[in-house]
Chain A
Amino acid sequence: MKQNPIRSIPKIDSELSLEGPKDSFIEDIKTNEQLIKKRIPSKALQQKETKIGRYTKTRVKLLYIKGIVKEELVQDTWKKLENIIIDGVLDSSYLKRYLTEQFNIFPTIIATERPDKSSMALLEGKIVILVDNSPYALILPNFFQDFLHTTDDYYQKSFNTTFIRIIRLLAFIIAIYTPAIYISVTTRDYDLIPLPLLYTLKAGRSYVPFPAYIEAFFMITCFEILKESDLRMSTTTGSSISILGGLILGDAAVAAGIVSPIMIIVIAISSISGLIFQSIELGNALRIYKILFLILSTIFGIIGVGIGSILLISNLLKTKNMGFSYISLNNEMKNDFIIKKNTYKRNESLTKNRIRGR
């Protein structure tokens, strides 16, 4: 019998980690399932299979651990999968919009190439969906903190993990707030900064012909174009283009008097902070909020930053995923949000079987 061509299990490409296993999912659903079963050989690991796609008839498997996961979650997810009517499913990302309840700027489903991350999710009481021809497994439901954490957090010491999580949370805030605060203190709210700094900023901007917000939008656009072109180029030419783009944006633009050096620093810090997160969708959400905050601070000044903060927090609180609140601060969540404690209990929102170990 002729076998479909499949590639060998590669090393992890996108979700890099310092410690932990390095194997990755591939496009074959059977192999991916075996990678998880290798880690969780227990008979409690259950799976349900269906075919989705009128023409592609793509195999889709729903994995969960019986006794840990909530039955209602499995049934709700299965019902959603069964009700999908689509021509074809070419990748797991096709299923995302059917599994989310409402439009969300923030991501609610994790797509991962890592079998260890998928296995960890199953042990937490989550569901993993494998799709044939896709090297990405879908994990749901997820909370806001799941997008701030990485697999390295669970392989390193608590102290190191806590420190890195604080850095990530700061990066989240810096990515959104930095350009907006800069615009507000250089156009309306001069009182917020010390006088020597105000002189430095004024000197730096003295030759720039554009208003600060035009400069900011220009730099954000240039940075996004550079990032996008870097992704599409091959590794050999990509790095050369990146260096060229960086030099043009950085050095030449300042020398030509188009932008001020401080604006480049502000946008660079903000954009690099956004790259710290593995989730592309979270990066997109940060970009949207960065621009929203920029518009609000241009119109309202520092009050606009306050209005933006209210919108951001209300959006986070309003977001739901499979019936679970995106921000949920019960005890285990608090224990694991920033400070990593060695807790042997699972999240009570996800499961009633909370004891993980001793």
Chain B
Amino acid sequence: MKKTIILIGVLILLKILLPIKPYIELNHLKIIEEITVDCKKEYTITYQEKIPKKEDNGIEYQKKEYVMHYDSLKEAKKSLKEKKNFYIKKAKIKTVSCKKKDF
């Protein structure tokens, strides 16, 4: 009993201390294929999601865009970190009218 309690305590501690990624079901995950950053007036970031749909012939893909406006790039990055269900690790980044030093 004592060993079990210690083990549970260690697991809770590990849960708090370790950098564990958030739990997101695949149904709620938005796989972003492309990110377009437009720096003309304010920062406009367009996230293009690729949605796979199972059909009789195989898998067909649909696309959906999310457009967001920010005053600064810092604000945009902060906003992106908060969107935990956006999977952007494999996304291509395109920039329009932006200076390289911003990145």
**A residues near B, CB below 8 A?**
186-191, 195, 198-208, 211-212, 298-301, 303, 307
Given A205-B26, A211-B25, A307-B11, the answer on whether A200 and B59 have CB atoms closer than 8 Å is: yes
Given A203-B59, A299-B15, the answer on whether A188 and B54 have CB atoms closer than 8 Å is: no
Check if B31 sits within 8 Å of A188, measured CB to CB: no
Check if A307 sits within 8 Å of B14, measured CB to CB: yes
- Interface stretch among B16-24, B35-43, B73-81, B93-101? B16-24
A-B contact pairs, 13 of them (CB 8 A): A188-B24, A189-B21, A190-B87, A200-B59, A202-B31, A203-B54, A206-B53, A207-B54, A211-B25, A299-B15, A300-B14, A300-B15, A301-B20
Partner of A186, one of B22, B26, B52, B53: B26
Q: Give every chain B residue within 8 A of A203 (Cβ-Cβ).
A: 52-54, 59
Q: Give every chain B residue within 8 A of A301 (Cβ-Cβ).
A: 20-21
Q: Give every chain A residue within 8 A of B27 (Cβ-Cβ).
A: 202, 205-206, 208
Contact of B63 with A by CB under 8 A: no
Q: Give every chain B residue within 8 A of A205 (Cβ-Cβ).
A: 25-27
A301 to B14, CA, bound (A): 12
Check if A199 sits within 8 Å of B15, measured CB to CB: no
A303 to B15, CA, bound (A): 10
- Give the dominant DSSP class at B's interface: mixed
A187 to B27, CA, bound (A): 10
A198 to B32, CA, bound (A): 12
**B residues near A, CB below 8 A?**
11, 14-15, 18, 20-27, 29, 31, 50, 52-54, 59, 61, 87, 89-90
Check if B23 sits within 8 Å of A187, measured CB to CB: yes
Q: Whole-angstrom distance from the CB of B35 to the nearest CB of chain A?
A: 15
Check if A212 sits within 8 Å of B26, measured CB to CB: yes
A195 to B88, CA, bound (A): 11
Check if A303 sits within 8 Å of B18, measured CB to CB: yes
Closest to A184 in B: B21
A198 to B54, CA, bound (A): 13
Closest to A200 in B: B59
Check if B29 sits within 8 Å of A190, measured CB to CB: yes
Q: Give every chain A residue within 8 A of B59 (Cβ-Cβ).
A: 199-200, 203
Closest to B10 in A: A307
